[in-house]
């Protein structure tokens, strides 16, 4: 047993962090708030760097790495608040042509819930829908019933949508109302769903760890009563609890990437969601009035964390699954 | 990141399981909670069995009488003994987890030879005399004095919350040897025999009704200078070595036990109908994730310790700071677990004889003993996050 990152894994994480810092720095982040469409040039650059082809075998032009490595890279995208359907592109590289290289951008939606939300609808070339319920609909919101769990794809322009005002300025959303003439994909729906949950949890982890850093940096800099506010215990203890949440989530997410167990992933998502949401809220608090502004980046972490917490398994669903897992 | 075990580790686990399978049925019945001589005898007998089978001081360095096992083997040991329902260290807690490791790390060759073998054999029980009426979280405020008189120190003062004082043979004692030095630089670490004239122990009753700890009055107790471990006035540093052990792997067995208990809670709730309550069910589901993650955090900390392990053996200490993150989360999770148990029991949670009710009461000490949660948060904030010291 050696539950620590290997040298190669550390190097990979460092490289991902450096690439994102160079190509998606603070100015780009602020610009993305006004125009959150993924930057196609950046997407191709990420593709060239192997971001999406990470898990494809080397014979297929991929990097030949595994889920733990994908988790480390996704953690960095969460940390950097990179906008765009990164999870979808990571999971569908090698399935949909052009995704691995970053030429094409695809979206991934979870069917069987209401509303079915689609991230970055204007930026996607295709939409892939995952249905995992026992009874799935052919075309969301009506149509022939009776199909079992499955995955289907559709060209983006064929999807009918209704507008949806996203709470997260970095993630435009649309409500999917119909997927006419969708084509079935031979993919394992429950595995896709599990991996989507895990990679989303990895992004939450990156965000949770980042808000600890932001809070600590602010608490050291900002002075009141003649001292850095970080010297006051009430503030210090908020920061300490933030770190505890992030580190718990880290262990759960990393372990789930190794075991790929259903309950491990479910638990990891639950803890990572909680860490991301609660850390972002505490980070707002530590920033004081500044934390309540559009200007500070903190709200971007909070809103994205809320959004991800609704994807691929909510807290309520996770807790029920985990409870059932105690009995079987 | 590798969560699988090597062939040696698997073989170690198999051997241990076989041995536990042989000895567990022969174990005598557990003594009553307030039968202290009985508890001492029971804990000592178990330690002796471990010693005879080569499992005592497993992760201690070989030159301290240990087996030089790796941190992973130590983890397997704690996991398997708990799974088998074997006794935990009990009254041997201080000897095996604080005083022994301190002597092993800081003691002279003679001191190691004198004190370590009886700890490993279960022959001698230790207690910890650190806290005082006016020195709890602020341990460096301790006032018990030790004045030199020939080749002895003459020790006077009051110690408080001394666990197992009633049955202990030795006390690892912190005393002030230089009242004029800055607070942290006037403290020394002594091994005090509990039968020395001038030592009076008065048991204190805990809120759980038992007498787990005591007040200890020291009235001109003569302790040989040769019983001092480390240099005079260097006791603070010597003690910090101890505390990092205390916050390390001390709770591994308990996490395994909590995970098992969670399964029992769910089954009980299903049998008594409480399972239909979605709020309770979700609460148990959350605790499932919580304790699974605490187990992963343990594996993470142990792997980190293994990487930092000095060549030539020794378990390495789990770094005190990683231990603080764990202790903070675990102590609260344990309290939540027992609160959930109370909800499963309903009015049954008012039955003081129920095992889970006793556990609920004792869980309250977890956020206080061995550094309160507030102190742990200070440690995490200042030592890991680098926030400035303050009020
Ligand atoms: C079951 C049990 C067994 C024990 N066994 C032993 C033993 O064997 N040997 C031994 O020496 N001691 C033992 N202790 C003592 C234990 O270490 C102390 O109780 C603990 O360190 C707290 O000290 P205190 O009780 O004086 O509380 P105080 O230090 O008086 O604390 C009171 C409250 O103030 C808070 N507080 C104090 N200082 C700060 C600060 N700087 N910042 C924020 N909050 C603060 C604390 O968190 C707490 O909530 C035991 C305690 C328990 C409960």
pLDDT band at B321 (very low <50, low <70, confident <90, very high): low
| A205 contact B CB<8A | no
Q: What is the pLDDT of residues A50-81, one digit of tens each?
A: 999 999 999 988 999 999 999 999 999 999 99
The reply to whether B328 and B216 lie within a common domain is no
CATH number at residue B12: 1.10.540.10
Which chain A positions have a beta carbon within 8 Å of B262's beta carbon?
326
Contact A245, A305 (CB under 8 A): no
pLDDT band at A140 (very low <50, low <70, confident <90, very high): very low
Q: What is the pLDDT of residues B112-122, one digit of tens each?
A: 999 999 999 99
Chain-centroid distance of CA B332 in Å reads: 17
Write out the DSSP string of B101-128.
HHHHHH--HHHHHHHHHHHHHT---EEE
Domain of B300?
251-384
Residues with CB under 6 A from ligand 1: A 233; B 127-131, 136-137, 161-163, 212-213, 365, 368-372, 374-375, 378
Angle at B355 between CA B352 and CA B361, to 5 degrees: 60
Residue B270 placed within a domain: yes
- Domain finish residue from B88, B109, B136: B88
Best to test chain B binding among A3, A12, A66 (most B CBs inside 10 Å): A3
| B24 contact A CB<8A | no
Residue B382 tokens, joined: 């200042």
d(CA B80, CA B11) in angstroms, rounded, equals 13
A257-266, B150-159, B295-304: the lowest-pLDDT one? B295-304
The reply to whether B23 and B61 lie within a common domain is yes
Report pLDDT for B365: 96
Report pLDDT for B102: 93
B224 has a pLDDT exceeding 80: yes
Query: Which residue's CA is the closest to the ligand 1 atom numbered 48?
Result: B372
Largest CA distance in chain B: 72
B 44-73: CB under 8 A from A? 72
A143 has a pLDDT exceeding 70: no
CATH number at residue B344: 1.20.140.10
Residue B263 placed within a domain: yes
pLDDT band at B200 (very low <50, low <70, confident <90, very high): very high
Nearest-by-Cβ selection for B289 from A239, A247, A271:
A271
A247 has a pLDDT exceeding 80: yes
Percent of chain A beyond pLDDT 70? 95
Q: What is the pLDDT of residues A157-211, one digit of tens each?
A: 999 999 999 999 999 999 999 887 789 999 999 999 999 999 999 999 999 999 9
How close B250 comes to chain A (CA, Å)? 18
A 230-269: CB under 8 A from B? 230-233, 235-237, 239-241, 243-244, 247-249, 251-252, 254-255, 257-259, 263-264, 266-268
A138 has a pLDDT exceeding 70: no
The reply to whether B275 and B379 lie within a common domain is yes
Residue extent(s) of CATH 2.40.110 domains in chain A: 106-187
Nearest-by-Cβ selection for B387 from A9, A220, A258:
A220
A240 has a pLDDT exceeding 70: yes
Q: A9 to chain B: nearest residue by CA?
A: B1
Q: Do A248 and B329 touch (CB under 8 A)?
A: yes
Q: Which atom of ligand 1 is nearest to the CA of B159?
A: 11
User: Which CATH architecture does the domain made up of A106-187 adopt?
Assistant: Beta Barrel (2.40)
Average model confidence (pLDDT) for chain B? 93
d(CA A287, CA A216) in angstroms, rounded, equals 10
How close B127 comes to chain A (CA, Å)? 31
Nearest to A204 by CA among A54, A325, A318: A318
Q: Do A240 and B303 touch (CB under 8 A)?
A: no
B314 has a pLDDT exceeding 60: no
Residue B113 placed within a domain: no
Residue B101 placed within a domain: no
Residues B160-184: what's their mean pLDDT?
97
Residues A233-251: what's their mean pLDDT?
98
Among B129, B133, B137, residue to substitute to test ligand 1 (most atoms within 8 Å of Cβ):
B137
**B88 burial level (CB within 10 Å; 0-12, 13-18, 19+):** middle
A150-154, A219-223, B267-271: the lowest-pLDDT one? A150-154
Residues B38-48: what's their mean pLDDT?
95
Best to test chain B binding among A244, A261, A315 (most B CBs inside 10 Å): A244
Residue B223 tokens, joined: 């302790």
Q: Do A232 and B292 touch (CB under 8 A)?
A: no
How close A305 comes to chain B (CA, Å)? 19
pLDDT band at A147 (very low <50, low <70, confident <90, very high): very low
Report pLDDT for A180: 77
B246 is catalytic: yes
Residue B238 placed within a domain: no
Nearest-by-Cβ selection for A4 from B6, B282, B304:
B304
The reply to whether B357 and B298 lie within a common domain is yes
CATH number at residue B161: 2.40.110.10
Report pLDDT for A144: 39
A100-109, A181-190, A303-312: the lowest-pLDDT one? A181-190
Report pLDDT for A131: 85
Chain-centroid distance of CA A68 in Å reads: 15
A86-90, A286-290, A324-328, B267-271: the lowest-pLDDT one? A324-328
How close A286 comes to chain B (CA, Å)? 13
- Domain finish residue from B88, B112, B138: B88
Report pLDDT for B304: 87
Write out the DSSP string of B287-300.
HHHHHHHHHHHHHH
Total domains present in chain B: 3
Average model confidence (pLDDT) for chain A? 93
Catalytic residue among B79, B106, B124, B246: B246
pLDDT band at A238 (very low <50, low <70, confident <90, very high): very high
CA dihedral over A180, A185, A189, A193, signed as positive or negative: negative
Over the range B137-168, which residues count as b (16 or more CB within 10 Å of their CB) and which as e? eebeebebbbeeeeebbbbbbbbbbbbbbbbb
The reply to whether B69 and B134 lie within a common domain is no
Q: Which residue has the higher pLDDT, B240 or B199?
A: B199
Instruction: Quote the ligand 1 centre to B71 CA distance (angstroms).
Output: 29
Query: Which residue's CA is the closest to the ligand 1 atom numbered 53?
Result: B369
Report pLDDT for B248: 60
Report pLDDT for B311: 53
How close B388 comes to chain A (CA, Å)? 5
Homologous superfamily (CATH) of A190-327 is: Butyryl-CoA Dehydrogenase, subunit A, domain 3 (1.20.140.10)
The reply to whether B288 and B219 lie within a common domain is no
The reply to whether B170 and B272 lie within a common domain is no
B374 has a pLDDT exceeding 90: yes
Instruction: Quote the ligand 1 centre to B115 CA distance (angstroms).
Output: 28
pLDDT band at B333 (very low <50, low <70, confident <90, very high): very high
The count of other CB atoms within 10 Å of the CB of residue B133 is 13
Residues B9-16: what's their mean pLDDT?
97
Domain A7-85 has CATH 1.20.140.10: no
The reply to whether B152 and B259 lie within a common domain is no
B 119-148: CB under 8 A from A? none
Residue extent(s) of CATH 1.20.140.10 domains in chain A: 190-327
Nearest-by-Cβ selection for A267 from B278, B293, B376:
B293
B 365-384: CB under 8 A from A? 374, 376-378, 380-382, 384
Q: Do A240 and B75 touch (CB under 8 A)?
A: no
Q: What is the value of pTM for the model shown?
A: 0.95
Q: A260 to chain B: nearest residue by CA?
A: B3
Q: Which residue has the higher pLDDT, B347 or B244?
A: B347
Report pLDDT for B306: 82
Nearest-by-Cβ selection for A1 from B3, B374, B380:
B3
The reply to whether B226 and B255 lie within a common domain is no
A244-253, A284-293, B84-93, B183-192: the lowest-pLDDT one? B84-93
d(CA A165, CA B291) in angstroms, rounded, equals 38
- Torsions phi, psi for A258 (to 5 deg): -85, -45
Instruction: Quote the ligand 1 centre to A99 CA distance (angstroms).
Output: 58
Residue extent(s) of CATH 1.10.540.10 domains in chain A: 7-85
B221 has a pLDDT exceeding 50: yes
B 263-292: CB under 8 A from A? 263, 265-267, 270, 278, 281-286, 288-290, 292
The reply to whether B269 and B156 lie within a common domain is no
The reply to whether B372 and B283 lie within a common domain is yes
Write out the DSSP string of B302-319.
HHHHHHTPPTT----PPP
The reply to whether B308 and B275 lie within a common domain is yes
Residue A293 tokens, joined: 């502004």
Residue B342 placed within a domain: yes
């Amino acid at each position: 047993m050696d539950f620590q990152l290997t040298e190669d894994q550390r190097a990979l994480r460092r490289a991902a962090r450096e690439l994102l810092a160079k190509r998606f720095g603070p100015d780009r982040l602020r610009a993305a708030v006004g125009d959150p469409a993924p930057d196609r040039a950046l997407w191709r650059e990420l593709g060239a760097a192997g971001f999406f082809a990470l898990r494809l075998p080397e014979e297929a032009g991929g990097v030949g790495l595994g889920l733990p490595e994908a988790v480390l890279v996704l953690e960095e995208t969460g940390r950097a608040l990179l906008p765009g359907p990164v999870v979808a592109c990571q999971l569908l590289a090698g399935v949909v042509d052009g995704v691995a290289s970053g030429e094409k951008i695809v979206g991934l939606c979870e069917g069987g819930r209401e509303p079915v939300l689609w991230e970055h609808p204007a930026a996607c070339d295709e939409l892939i829908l995952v249905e995992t319920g026992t009874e799935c609909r052919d075309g969301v919101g009506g149509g022939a019933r009776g199909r079992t769990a499955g995955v289907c794809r559709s060209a983006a322009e064929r999807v009918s949508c209704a507008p949806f005002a996203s709470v997260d300025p970095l993630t435009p959303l649309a409500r999917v109302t119909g997927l006419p003439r969708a084509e079935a994909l031979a993919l394992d729906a429950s595995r896709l769903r599990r991996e989507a949950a895990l990679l989303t949890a990895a992004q939450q982890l990156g965000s949770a760890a980042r808000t600890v850093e932001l809070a600590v940096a602010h608490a050291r800099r900002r002075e009141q009563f003649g001292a850095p506010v970080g010297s006051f215990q009430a503030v210090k203890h908020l920061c300490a609890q933030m770190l505890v949440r992030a580190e718990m989530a880290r262990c759960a997410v990393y372990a789930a990437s190794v075991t790929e167990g259903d309950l491990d992933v479910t638990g990891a998502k639950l803890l990572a969601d909680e860490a991301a949401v609660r850390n972002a809220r505490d980070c707002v608090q530590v920033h004081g009035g500044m934390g309540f502004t559009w200007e500070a980046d903190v709200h971007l972490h909070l809103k994205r964390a809320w959004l991800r917490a609704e994807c691929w398994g909510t807290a309520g669903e996770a807790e029920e699954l985990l409870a059932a897992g105690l009995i079987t | 990141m590798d969560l699988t075990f090597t062939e040696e580790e698997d073989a170690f686990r198999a051997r241990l399981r076989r041995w536990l399978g042989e000895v567990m049925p022969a174990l005598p019945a557990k003594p009553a909670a307030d039968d202290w001589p009985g508890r001492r005898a029971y804990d000592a007998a178990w330690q002796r069995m471990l010693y005879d089978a080569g499992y005592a001081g497993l992760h201690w360095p070989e030159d301290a009488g240990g087996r030089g096992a790796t941190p992973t083997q130590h983890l397997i040991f704690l996991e398997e003994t708990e799974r088998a329902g074997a006794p935990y260290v009990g009254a041997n807690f201080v000897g095996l987890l604080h005083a022994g490791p301190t002597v092993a790390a800081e003691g002279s060759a003679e001191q190691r030879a004198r004190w370590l073998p009886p700890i490993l054999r279960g022959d001698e029980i230790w207690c910890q005399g650190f806290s005082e009426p006016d020195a709890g979280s602020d341990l460096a405020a301790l006032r018990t004095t030790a004045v030199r008189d020939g080749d002895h120190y003459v020790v006077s003062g009051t110690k408080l919350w001394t666990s197992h004082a009633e049955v202990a043979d030795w006390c690892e004692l912190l005393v002030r040897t230089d009242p004029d030095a800055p607070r942290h630089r006037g403290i020394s670490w002594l091994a005090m025999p509990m039968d020395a004239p001038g030592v009076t122990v008065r048991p204190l009753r805990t809120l759980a009704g038992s007498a787990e700890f005591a007040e200890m009055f020291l009235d001109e107790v003569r302790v040989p200078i040769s019983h001092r471990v480390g240099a005079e006035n260097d006791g603070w540093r010597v003690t910090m070595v101890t505390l990092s052990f205390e916050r390390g792997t001390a709770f591994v067995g308990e996490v395994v036990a909590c995970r098992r208990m969670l399964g029992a809670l769910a089954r009980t709730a299903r049998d008594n109908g409480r399972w239909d309550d979605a709020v309770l069910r979700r609460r148990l589901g959350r605790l499932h994730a919580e304790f699974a993650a605490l187990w992963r955090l343990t594996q993470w900390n142990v792997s980190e310790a293994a990487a930092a392990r000095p060549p030539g053996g020794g378990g390495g200490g789990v770094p005190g700071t990683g231990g603080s993150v764990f202790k903070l989360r675990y102590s609260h999770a344990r309290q939540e677990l027992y609160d959930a148990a109370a909800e499963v029991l309903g009015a049954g949670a008012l039955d003081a004889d129920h095992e889970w009710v006793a556990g609920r009461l004792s869980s309250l000490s977890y956020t206080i003993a061995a550094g309160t949660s507030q102190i742990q948060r200070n440690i995490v904030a200042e030592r890991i996050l680098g926030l400035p010291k303050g009020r």
